[in-house]
Amino acid sequence: MLYDQYFIDDLKDRADLVRIIEPYAPLKKKGSNWMACCPFHQEKTPSFSVNPSKGFYKCFGCGKGGNAFTFLMEMEGLNFPEAVQRVAEMNGVPLPEPIDDGQYQQNKQRKEERKQLSEQVIELNKIALEFWEEELQGKSKKAKDAKKYLDERGISEEIQKQFRVGFSPDSWDALLNHLKEKGADEKLIEQSGLVTLNEDRNSLYDRFRGRLMFPVLDINGNPVAFGARAMGDDQPKYLNSPETPAYIKGQHLYGLFQSKDALRQKKFAILVEGYLDLIALYQFGITNVAASLGTAFTPEQSKLLSRFTKKVVINYDGDDAGIKAAKRAIEHLLPQDFEIKVLVLPNGQDPDDFVRANGTDGYNEARGRAATFLNFMLDASLKGRSLANPKQKAEAIEEAMPILAAIKNSIQKRESFDQAMNFYRVEDAGLKRELWLTVKNGHQVETSVVQRQVRRATLVKMTVAEQHLLELILPDTELRDQVLILLEETDYDTLATAPIFAALYELQQQKLEPTVERLLNLVGGDEYFGDLVPLLMMSEPKRSAGDVIDDVFHDAENCIFTLRSMAIQNRLHDLSRELIEAEQTGDNARISHIVAEHLDLSKMHHSLLNKIAQT
């Protein structure tokens, strides 16, 4: 009985080696390894070592070593298929349908052919890399400009050599001709991704021209792909290799070959987005760093990184795209049981700019203030949103759910969930129970279900002030015109009736009187407004025809003051949260701005309370 090699490799990665070996050899943790007296021979001093992150064991006494499968084969006398079944059973992994011998042999032959083709492409990549390295040292004007650019970026000759930086000449066929001179087959050259096919002319030309070249090395130092940066205004600014027999996107980390020893030594990784971010940090002596190659971080990259460390600091760009990418990375790192922090540098700076401006000490100081992944996720979900707005609150909670669901440890998941519910001020016990049931079993989070759950429980009730104000202005055209001039959008945008106020403004601009049909058409098909609007429209005018407007206007003005006071209180609460976030990142400019706004709003709030008290 045989199983597909992909399943076997995946099962080996997922196997809990400590749990498998523990019944046969009582293990004790020692650093990143576990030690015991060897179960294969008699000894008094433990020399049997288990490394769960790498998935292997080794006895330094008798020399036996291997993985989860070989351990059970030796210890329990199982054959290989039986060991696969046993490991799958112990780890709760369902077995796929076994494949027959003929299919196995066919798959094996196809894999051997793919491996051979991959090795041939890597050989071409090696030739190309040496060609580009030599070009960077050449005498052409563009090569000199490339060298000057690297010098201006502070990238030393030593770092250039360490990362094998090169330069592709601005020519349509320089590399193509060079590869042919080396005896490379044209069909293989086309498969390598080093060239592009011009379909109109049915001819090949160099993919990379006039660019700085950054090779992507696999864990053994083989060049499997390339990243290229334009020197001038050429677009795209960054150009990457396509997928080839040697390279599948999302399965490699840039700089990992150079950084793997530092990752093991320092026991944590700094994850950045781009080539130059990584090289800049490396230039400043920060060598435990890897880059996700400008693509969305993948589960495969997470597994690759877990072979070297279980701690990571994500330091992507501080803009919206970088924050979104960091959240995706967190989702893929959590199932691998990483300890995760997130560093968002002040003023939206990227690691390259920041380390050049602040040096190694400044960067390490900022890294020391990195937020836990949960605090980062909670703060990021409220960016541009307010908890006082039911729709925005629902969106924030919905955004957090996949990350909460991705947490592997059940105790950590529950504690993080409770912390998130407190942060979002979710007090409804029924909603908490529904949300917990949604996330506790993993990633299967239905967006529409979550949104419906949250919207239903967080829909705020209409306050006395907003109800009274609407009952005053809906039947009174003159009063309505005067009140709408005084109302500001921030006075009502977090209220349950915000869509009604917005609809009144729109009808006023169109010089139309509000009717039930017109209001319902503008506020949408929400069931809540379907019941509320007709009731409000039945309100009787608060003054008779010909009566002066003073009394009802004073009453309406008092409602506005009350609503504005509530809006300011909500904003002050948001500012307190933003201040904590700014202090964590050391963003002094933002701290000053928040404090100034908080002071102004506090004064305004105090003034409004006085006006309300005097009425």
Pair 552, 472: CB distance under 8 Å: yes
In this structure, are strands 339-342 and 311-314 parallel, antiparallel, or unpaired?
A: parallel
Q: Can you give the pLDDT at residue 32?
A: 79
Radius of gyration of the chain (CA): 32
Mean pLDDT for back-to-back runs of 10 residues, the chain (615 residues) = 77 87 86 87 87 88 89 85 88 76 69 90 97 94 94 94 96 96 94 91 92 94 95 86 93 94 93 94 96 85 89 92 92 91 90 94 94 94 80 85 88 94 86 84 59 63 90 94 92 87 93 92 79 89 86 92 90 83 76 90 87 75
Cβ density class 323-360: b for 16+ within 10 Å, e for less? bebbbbbbbbbbbbebebbbbbbbeebbbbebbeebee
**Bridge partners, residue 307, by sequence:** none
Pair 27, 35: CB distance under 8 Å: yes
Neighbours of 39 (CB within 10 A): 17
CA nearest 488: which of 541, 565, 542? 565
Return the SS3 of 13: helix
Q: Can you give the pLDDT at residue 570?
A: 84
Q: Can you give the pLDDT at residue 447?
A: 59
What φ, ψ does residue 229 adopt, rounded to 5°? -110, 130
Respond yes or no on whether the N-terminal peptide bond of residue 402 is cis (omega within 30° of 0). no
What are the pLDDT digits (tens) for 105-140? 676 788 788 889 999 999 999 999 999 999 999 989
Name the amino acid, one letter, at 73: M
CA nearest 403: which of 431, 423, 427? 423
Respond yes or no on whether the N-terminal peptide bond of residue 236 is cis (omega within 30° of 0). yes
- Give the Å distances, CA to CA, from 453 to 177, 397, 403, 423, 445: 63, 10, 18, 17, 12
Tell me 2's DSSP state: B
Alpha helices, DSSP H, located in 267-409: 275-283, 299-306, 320-333, 351-368, 373-381, 390-406
Tokens for 460, please give them. 């705020």
Chain centroid to Cα 391, Å, comes to 23
What are the pLDDT digits (tens) for 494-545? 888 888 999 999 999 999 999 999 999 998 766 778 888 999 999 888 888 7
Return the SS3 of 254: strand
Pair 543, 476: CB distance under 8 Å: yes
Q: Can you give the pLDDT at residue 458?
A: 59
